[in-house]
Amino acid sequence: MPLLAWSDKLMLNISTIDGEHKQLVSWMNQLAIAATDNDNDIIKNLFENLKQYTMTHFKNEELYMESLDYPDLPRHKAKHFELKSMVAEFQRSLNDNQAININEILKFIRHWLIDHIVAEDMKIKTHRSQITN
């Protein structure tokens, strides 16, 4: 799987969130590299790190949205919950040593992350601009 390159098109101009998004991309790339080696222990460890960092990021992002009185927060949280549920299922499969395709999992998470930033998180940027002008 090709590595995911960071693009300034994904920038919200909110330093904390942008930094976390960049770190998520980095974790995904590390996992993609490990997947080529087929080392299940490393893959499990990196997947756990990615999962934990994602949970921290979601919490931070939701707190930031609360601070802005973001009107679409409940729906945004629901989107986060959807991914948390999928990631938990993927991790159960990994931990149970079920036959899974880590590249398919990475592809799903990659598309989810990019789509989420572009379609959902950019709305935070727009809302912030509206309330600060």
Query: Structural domain boundaries of the chain?
Result: 21-32+48-132
Long-range residue pairs from 57-60, CB within 8 A, at least 24 positions apart, any chain: 57/17, 57/20, 57/21, 57/23, 57/24, 58/84, 60/16, 60/17, 60/20
Q: Write the CB contacts of 18 (distance below 8 Å, at least 6 apart in sequence).
A: 10, 11, 12
Summarize pLDDT for 32-58 with one digit per residue, the tens.
Answer: 898 888 888 888 899 999 999 999 999
Burial class (CB in 10 A: 0-12, 13-18, 19+), 112: middle
- pLDDT reading at 81 higher than 80: yes
Q: What tokens does 44 get?
A: 């499990």
**21-32+48-132 is a CATH 3.40.50.970 domain:** no
Give the predicted TM-score (pTM) of the model: 0.90
